[in-house]
Chains A and B, each alone.
Chain A
Amino acid sequence: MTEHLRIHIENDSTIGPLFEITPEMIARAEARRPEVKGRWTASYGRDLVEFERNVAAADGLLGWQFRHAEIDRLGPRLHWIQLTGAGLDHLLPLKWLPPRIALTNARGAHKPKIGEALFMSVLMLNNFIPALVHHQRARRWNQMFATGIAGKTLLIVGLGEAGGDAARLARTFGIRVVATARRTTSHIAAHEVHPPSALRDLLPQADIVMLTVPLTPQTRGMFGAREIGLMKPGAGLVSLARAGIVDDVALKDALARGHLSGCVYDLEDPSHRQFDTEMWDCPNMIYLPHSQTNDPARFMENVLDIFFDNLARALGGEPFANRVDPNLGY
C-alpha cells in the first residue's frame, strides 16, 4: 500500500487537441474510480515547459513525449509511466527505461472503434471496394461480383487488442479467424492462434490478411516481397502497421500485377514518414488517414480509465495492467 502519489500529466500540443488531458476530464474519469480520490495529486504541463521541475517531484507520469532519454536522471522518484497511446515505437529501444520504472501503454483504449475500422476494411476487401474505386477513377463500368464472406479465412498477424476487437466482429459474420501472436496462445474470438514463426505456413491459407503488429526491431521489414508472394492469389491485405513493417514497393507491385485484389492501408502523416508520392495512385489501394481507429468522443476517456485502473493498482500495491515488456518493445 502506498499512501499518496504525485502524478505529472504532460500534454503535447503537436498531437492535436483530441489528445489533450484537462483537469475536467480527469475529474470525470476519477468519479468512475472514487477509491483513489484524495490519495493522489496531479500537476499539469504542456510541450515540456518546466518539465524538469514537474517531473522531479513526481511518482508517476502520464503522457506521450517526455525526454525519455534523460528520464532516469530527471525523475528520480518515478516508478510508473503511463502512455496515452498504444504504439510506442517513438520510444524504442527501451534501453533508457530503468528497472524501477514500470512502463504501461494504452492498448485497448481504441476499442471498439478500432475493431470496427479493421472489420470495415475486411468487408471492403471482400467486396472489391479498392478495385471498384480504382475503376471508378478511370470511369470504367467493371462489375466485380464477390462471394459471401462467411466461411472465408482471415489471418490476423499480431493478434492483440486491435486484432481481437476485429475478430469479434469477424466471427459474427461467420469468418474463420486464424492468428499469430507472441504473447498469447488462444483468444476467445480466434479459431486458431499460432506463434509468429508460423506466419509463412499460414499466409497461403488466408483470403484476407490483417497486419496489427507493433513496430519493433523484430517486426521492421517483416512483411516484404516474400510474405506478399506467399499470400493466396487474389487475397486482400489490411494493414494497420506502422511505416517500415510492410515493403511498400513489393505491395504496389503485387497490387499492380493483380496478385493481391486490394489493400486498405492505414497511413500515418506521409510528410512525417518515407512515402513515395507514386504510392498515392497505387491501383486497388485505399488509404485511411490514421484517424479511423479512434473515436474522439471515447478514446481519451478510455485512456483515462486505464490510467485510473493503474493508479488504483499502484496505490494498492498490485501489479500494473498493460505493462510493456522492455525486451519485446510493446
Chain B
Amino acid sequence: MNEKTLTLLVENESGLGPVFEVDPARYREAAARHPDVASRVRAVFSTDRDRFAQTIGEADALVGWVFPHRELDRLAPQLRWVHLTGAGVNHLAPFDWGPPGLVVTNNRGVHAPKAAEFAAAAALMIVNKLPRLVSRQWDRHWELDYSETIGGKTAGIVGVGNMGAAVAGACRTLGMRVLGMRRSGAPRPEVDHMFGPEELDVLLAQSDVVFLCTPLTDETRSLMDSARFARMKPGSGIVNLARGAVVDNDALRAALASGQVSGAILDVFDPEPLPADSPLWTTPNLIVTPHCSSDDAQSYVPRTLDLIFDNLRRLMTGQTLRGIVDPRLGY
C-alpha cells in the first residue's frame, strides 16, 4: 500500500437536508468500521462551500453533490477521484470536466434496499388501484373497486441497473413475473426476461406495472411520451423512480384521463421541488411522493460512507473503483 496520507474533501449541501449529510460524526462511525483506511485519510468537512476554496487545491479526493465542477481542472490539480453522493448524476453532465485522469463515481447501489421496499409498496398500490382510491377519497366517493392478486402479474423494469435490479427482486418476492430492459440486453438473475432498448414496446405491452429506473440521458429524456403510453397494456400502471424528465407528464396526464393508464406513482419531477401550481398535484389517479422513496433516513449516509471507504482502499492499492461513471454514457 502506498503510505501517503490522502486529503479527502467532503462537500455538503445543506439544502439537501440531514438525511444526506456526510457529517463528522457519521464519518467517525464509518472510520471505526474501516480503521486501516481511515488512519491514512485526512478528512476536511465543508458545508455550502465554506471550506471548499481553501482545501480543494490540496485534495486528492472529493465527496459531494453540488460543487463548481467546471473549475476543478484549474482549482484541483491533484484531484484523482470525485465521489457523487447520489445516483442520478445528470446535473453534472456532460462529464468533460476535471483534471486529466479524474475518476468519477456515484452512489449506485446505496439506494437498493430502500428502493426495493418502496417498489414492493408501489407494485401493490398499482395493482390495488390505490391512486384511484385516493382520488375518490378526496371526492368523498365510496365505491367497491375489486382488484386481482399480485401473484402472476407482470412487472416491467425500464433500466435494470442497481436500483432496477432491487426493484425486480422485490417484485419477484411478491410473486410477479419480471421483465427488464437495459442498454446491453444482458440477463440478470432478478429478471425473468431481459430486453434491449429497441424492444421497449414489447415490455410495455406485457407489463401490469411499469417501473422507470433509468438514468436521465439524451436517450431517456421524454422516453415515456404519448406513443409509449399508447403501447402500455390498457389499465396498467406506472411508477417513476428515475428522473422527472424521463416522462412527458402531459402525455401521462392524458393517458390517465383516458384510462389507458390506471394509476401512476411519481417520486421524481422536473423541476424539483414540484411547483405549487403544477397540475400534477391534483391529477386524478396520480400519487405524488416528493423524491423520498429510496433514501433510507438512517442508513443512507452510513452505506454511502462504506462505499467511500471501500473506494479509498481501492484508490490506495491501485484497484478499480466501484461505481465509476462512464463519461460517454453519463451514468
Interface residues of A (CB under 8 A from B): 16, 18, 112-113, 116-117, 119-120, 123-124, 126-129, 132-133, 135-137, 139, 141-150, 169, 172-173, 267, 269-271, 277, 280, 286-292, 294-298
Contacts and interface: CB of A to CB of B under 8 A. Distances in A.
Contacts of A124: 121, 125, 130
B290 A132 contact: yes
Given A137-B282, A141-B290, A286-B134, 14 more contacts: A117-B128, A123-B121, A123-B124, A124-B130, A129-B289, A132-B292, A141-B274, A146-B292, A148-B117, A271-B142, A286-B137, A287-B142, A291-B146, A294-B146
Interface residues of B, number: 51
B120 A173 contact: yes
A80 B294 CA distance: 53
Interface in B127-144: 127-128, 130, 133-134, 136-138, 140, 142-144
Given A142-B290, A280-B137, A289 B276 contact: no
A143 B138 contact: no
7 contacts: A116-B124, A123-B124, A137-B282, A139-B281, A144-B292, A148-B296, A287-B133
B320 interface: no
B166 to A, nearest CB: 12
B296 A289 contact: no
* Most central of B120, B136, B296 by chain A CB within 10 Å: B120
Given A172-B173, A280-B137, A127 B293 contact: yes
B288 interface: yes
Interface string B282-322: 10000111111101111110000000000000000000000
Contacts of B117: 123, 126-127, 148-149, 173
B297 A116 contact: no
Given A123-B121, A132-B288, A148 B114 contact: yes
Contact of A147 (B281, B291, B297): B297
A289 B289 contact: no
Interface stretch (B148-156, B255-263, B323-331): B148-156
B113 interface: yes
Given A132-B288, A291-B144, A147 B298 contact: yes
B143 A148 contact: no
A116 B150 contact: yes
A148 B140 contact: no
A149 B276 CA distance: 31
B2 interface: no
A277 B140 contact: yes
A100 B114 CA distance: 55
Contacts of B147: 291-292, 295
Nearest to A288: B133
Nearest to B295: A145
* Most central of A16, A116, A126, A269 by chain B CB within 10 Å: A116
A120 B125 contact: yes
B149 A143 contact: no
B114 A120 contact: no
* Most central of B145, B287, B290, B295 by chain A CB within 10 Å: B290
Nearest to B16: A143
Given A142-B290, A145-B295, A146-B296, A270 B142 contact: yes
B128 A292 contact: yes
A112 B19 contact: no
B124 A137 contact: no
A288 B300 CA distance: 32
B189 interface: no
10 nearest CB pairs, A to B: A120-B124, A141-B273, A123-B121, A145-B297, A291-B144, A143-B292, A296-B146, A147-B298, A139-B281, A280-B140
B296 A133 contact: no
Nearest to A136: B288
Contacts of A150: 113
Contacts of B296: 145-148
B139 to A, nearest CB: 9
A250 to B, nearest CB: 20
Nearest to A295: B149
Contacts of A113: 148-149
A137 B138 contact: yes
A233 to B, nearest CB: 16
B17 interface: yes
A129 B121 contact: yes
Nearest to A172: B173
